[in-house]
Amino acid sequence: MRIISYNVNGIRAAFKKGFIDWLKTNPADVICLQEIKAHKDDVDFKQLEALGFHHHWFSAEKKGYSGVAIFSKQKPTAVVMGQGHAPSDREGRVIQVDFGDIRLINAYFPSGTSGEERQSFKYQWLDEFHAYLTKLKKKHPKIILVGDYNIAHEEIDIHDPKGNKNSSGFLPEERAWMTRFLKSGWVDTFRLVHPEPHRYSWWSQRFPSVRLNNKGWRIDYITVTEPLRNQIKDADIFPAIKHSDHCPIYLELS
């Protein structure tokens, strides 16, 4: 199974930047998107069907905001919209599918960059989501959790750790949550394969030179539960793909 996770920062904008042409290169069997900022009927999804994709969308109630989608060559055996947490589900943050005994969860974690209220919502969401996942693992031991986590975990995951020590996404409390999460039975697939520095998945759009000079953050992850550790075949980040301020990240399982 080859999986892509990709925050497209607006799927309609990504379509205009060649997203469909990229899909034609067959980058993966399952494509998980975050921040689609659209509903299914806003997009020419027939282009996806022509490429053989089954597609499932969970959009925010607010137009042009948040939302997640999963495109897959194989039809899922089950689809779950949301996580049963109303504030999160209204924002279209989580969609889940099953492929046999594997549960794939595509999540768009909240950002706290717009102020204290959203930062507080982020902390609450993180704790509630972790509790939800812990309970879910008892029923589904094999889980793949992909998405924009909006957290750079370690100093190696951000170009300027000292300058960003007070920035949302790299706050001590967020990083501590990520440490607890991983220690509770989850594997950071990219770091397992790639221990080297200077590998990022998001670059600020404020200054064009930021991406050119690779001054980024690694805030997009594919983590798996321990029972899937030995099935990790490859993991990577594809910064050359540029439909968004993020880039796709990749996992291959045997």
Alpha-carbon distance values, 127 to 87, 134, 135, 173, 176 (Å): 14, 11, 13, 11, 12
The pLDDT of residue 206 is: 87
Catalytic residues: 108, 148
- Name the packing angle between helices 172-183 and 116-139 (round to 10°): 0
Q: What does the alpha-carbon distance between residue 97 and residue 11 come to, in Å, rounded to a whole number?
A: 20
Work out whether the CA dihedral 198, 201, 205, 206 comes out positive or negative: negative
The CATH number that applies at residue 158 is 3.60.10.10
The pLDDT of residue 208 is: 80
Provide the 3-class DSSP secondary structure of residue 27.
Answer: coil
Alpha helices, DSSP H, located in the chain: 11-16, 19-23, 46-50, 86-90, 116-139, 172-183, 189-193, 209-212
The pLDDT of residue 161 is: 98
Cβ atoms of residues 40 and 21 within 8 Å: no
Number of domains in the chain: 1
Tens digit of pLDDT per residue, the chain (254 long)?
A: 999 999 999 999 999 999 999 999 999 999 999 999 999 999 999 999 999 999 999 999 999 999 999 999 999 999 999 999 999 999 999 999 999 999 999 999 999 998 999 999 999 999 999 999 999 999 999 999 999 999 999 999 999 999 999 999 999 999 999 999 999 999 999 999 999 999 999 999 888 899 999 999 999 999 999 999 999 999 999 999 999 999 999 999 99
φ, ψ of residue 181 in degrees (nearest 5): -60, -50
The pLDDT of residue 93 is: 98
* Cut 0.95: pTM above it: yes
Cβ atoms of residues 104 and 70 within 8 Å: yes
Amino acid, single-letter form, for residue 131: A
Closest CA to 133 of 64, 169, 86, 180: 180
Domain membership of residue 158 as a residue range: 2-253
Cβ atoms of residues 217 and 152 within 8 Å: yes
Cross-strand pairs, 95: 81, 106
Closest CA to 197 of 165, 166, 156: 156
Q: What does the alpha-carbon distance between residue 122 and residue 117 come to, in Å, rounded to a whole number?
A: 9
DSSP states of 192-244 as a string? HH---S---SB--SS-THHHHTT--B--EEEEEEGGGGGGEEEEEE-TT--SS
